[in-house]
């Protein structure tokens, strides 16, 4: 297993949001994490990445315990996180954003930057443009590009389609699939567009009030008629 959480408990201050979550993601797979707002999906991603401290349970990455380890160390070890909304530095240029993607190892590798430009050519064209002035779709591409600079083994994606027009939602999710295919990056995807997320994922977890209520193959869940009653 690439990452594994066992009985994870976490929250903000004294407010507990995760009540013993167990989940795993293998190398190279896309796993969807779905559930209503407030189910604890974002809290789970932030805890796995090290932005929030775990109050209980364990996180193992590559077989080694990383519970409570700082995000900066996890980044260097191949974990990457794209937060909800702006996963970019809006005041900096597109080029500066991508360079910062390699900050934790000194500098961004030119070959890897070239691969990102190949995947998202618009980022090369808009290299000197301030990131905050890009359209929503372009900002999301930049957020994905920024997360890919260190060629992570696991990408934690928090609602990459949030606020995007339907046509762009499809494009962004296709990009996620392309990243997985091209670089072999495993993806744990939190997404509100459930059907579209299930079409690109191999497995799925359904979250309800801070717990995993269901785990299944994405294909099987997609075929169920009572899909919307599950969460």
Partner 1 sequence: MDLFAQLLVNGVIAGSLYALVACSFGLILGTTGTFHFAHGVVFAAGAYGAYFAAGRGLPLWAAVGVGIAGAALVGVLIEVVVYRPLRKISASPLVILIASLGTLIVLENAIAIGFSTDAKVLEGFPRKGVIIGGVGFTTLHVTMVAVSLVVFLGLLAFLHWTRTGRAIRAVATSPEMAEIVGIDTGRVFLLVFAIGSAMAAPAAILIMMDRGGTPDMGMEAILIAAIAVIVGGIGSVPGAALGALIIGVAQNLGVMQIPSEWQAAIAFGVLLVVVILRPHGLLGKKLKKAEI
Q: Which residues bind partner 1 (CB under 8 A)?
A: 13, 49, 51, 71-72, 75-76, 81, 83, 86-92, 96, 99-101, 103-104, 107, 132-138, 146, 168
Min separation Cβ 50 and partner 1, Å: 9
Q: How far out from the chain centre does Cα 91 lie?
A: 23
Smaller CB separation from partner 1, 139 or 218: 139
Residue number with CB closer to partner 1 (96 or 178): 96
| CB closer to partner 1 out of 146 and 173 | 146
Closer by beta carbon to partner 1, 106 or else 228: 106
136-148 and 110-119 helices, crossing angle to 10°: 150
CB of 214 to partner 1, least distance (A): 29
Burial 67-94 (b: 16+ CB within 10 A, else e): bebeeeebbebbbbbbbeeebbbeeebb
Cβ proximity to partner 1: between 125 and 219 the closer is 125
Distances (CA, A) of 76 to 15, 99, 151: 30, 15, 10
Residue with token string 């696991």: 154
d(CA 151, CA 105): 12
Instruction: Provide, rounded to whole angstroms, the least separation between the CB of residue 1 and partner 1.
Output: 23
Shortest CB 222 distance to partner 1, Å: 29
Q: How far is the CB of 46 from partner 1 (least distance, A)?
A: 9
The neighbouring-strand residues paired with 58 are: 6
């Amino acid at each position: 297993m690439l990452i594994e959480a066992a009985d994870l408990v976490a929250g903000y201050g004294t407010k507990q949001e995760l009540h013993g979550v167990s989940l795993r993601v293998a190398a190279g797979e896309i796993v969807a994490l779905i559930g209503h707002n407030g189910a604890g999906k974002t809290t789970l991603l932030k805890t796995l990445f090290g932005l929030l401290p775990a109050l209980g349970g364990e996180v193992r990455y590559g077989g080694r315990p990383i519970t409570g380890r700082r995000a900066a160390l996890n980044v260097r070890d191949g974990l990457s996180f794209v937060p909800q909304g702006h996963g970019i530095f809006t005041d900096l240029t597109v080029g500066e954003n991508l360079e910062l993607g390699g900050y934790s190892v000194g500098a961004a590798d030119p070959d890897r930057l070239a691969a990102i430009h190949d995947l998202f050519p618009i980022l090369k064209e808009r290299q000197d443009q301030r990131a905050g002035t890009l359209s929503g779709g372009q900002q999301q591409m930049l957020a994905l590009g920024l997360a890919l600079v260190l060629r992570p083994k696991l990408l934690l994606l928090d609602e990459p389609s949030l606020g995007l027009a339907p046509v762009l939602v499809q494009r962004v999710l296709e990009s996620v699939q392309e990243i997985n295919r091209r670089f072999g990056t495993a993806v744990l995807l939190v997404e509100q567009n459930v059907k579209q997320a299930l079409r690109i994922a191999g497995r799925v977890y359904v979250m309800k009030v801070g717990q995993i209520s269901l785990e299944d193959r994405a294909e099987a869940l997609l075929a169920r008629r009572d899909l919307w009653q599950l969460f």
